[in-house]
Amino acid sequence: MSVDIPGAINAVCTFVVIGILLVGIFRALEMRRAFVAGAYRNRATWSALLMLVIIPTQVESSVNLPETGLLSLVSIIPFLALVFVIFAYADQSVLVAIETDFFHRDTLGWLRARWPVAVFLVCFLAVEVVGAIVLTPAEQNSLLGDLLNGVFFFSLVPILGYVTGALIVGARRSADQTLRRSILLLGLAISTLVISFVVSTPFATGSLPYVIVNQGTAVVGIYLIYRSVMALSPIGKIEREVGSTAPS
């Protein structure tokens, strides 16, 4: 009996990733209850939301779903929601980094570019949804489908690359060492998504090289997100803060 190696790797990595995400969500919510500072509570909240929206994308990757029609939205919407949350969380993180920068420098022109990029991203996501519903399977594999895939690659990858750069540069300028580490780890986590897009493009979806690249970067990226939220406060400190607020 032959063994489906790509399927086995995908299943194991999905199990590991979901386990990390569940622990991370619990820790993030625990931190949110303990924190008093708004910036720290905000990061804990966004971290929990980000990890929550990642879970459906991991589950969907293990299920065969239609690539066109209304049912294709079951696989498309979780990924589009993930992209939107990544951008929104990154936006808040860069703004916090600018605020905690002694000179309040505009990181890579983020204050000027954030709204145009957000509008473009929303329009792009809307086109992806409409294309999935309207195009037939034959059209998906035609020149029009290739064109949409090209627009996807050459639009989303630069945006995520810009987001990654803004997070890393902003983190290095922040005067708050705790926020600096947390934001830096988030930037590195998003960079693994960019790497996954670029490196896995030449491989057929579901092939062994594709699964290795896709799931390998996913495990690293999820772990970095977990470390990003954990960098906000040591567990011992959380337990002391929770204990100090408990009624006697």
pLDDT digits (tens, 9 = 90+) for 102-144: 999 999 999 999 999 999 888 887 877 777 677 656 655 666 6
Is the CB of residue 164 less than 8 Å from the CB of residue 187? yes
Q: What is the pTM of this model?
A: 0.85
Q: How many CA atoms lie within 13 A of 16 on its CB side?
A: 15
What are the DSSP calls for 115-137, one per residue?
A: HHHHHHHHHHHHHHHHHHHHS-H
pLDDT at 239 over 50: no
What are the DSSP calls for 32-65, one per residue?
A: HHH--SHHHHHHHHHHHHHHHHHHHHHHHTTS--
d(CA 178, CA 217): 25
CATH for the stretch 5-245: 1.20.1070.10
What values do phi and psi take at 216, rounded to 5? Answer: -65, -45
pLDDT tens digits for range 16-70:
999 999 999 999 999 999 888 888 999 999 999 999 999 988 887 666 655 555 5
Annotated domain spans of the chain = 5-245
Is the CB of residue 160 less than 8 Å from the CB of residue 86? yes
- Residue 218's pLDDT is 92
Q: What is the number of residues in the chain?
A: 248
**Which residues are paired to 174 by β-bridges?**
101
d(CA 74, CA 93): 29
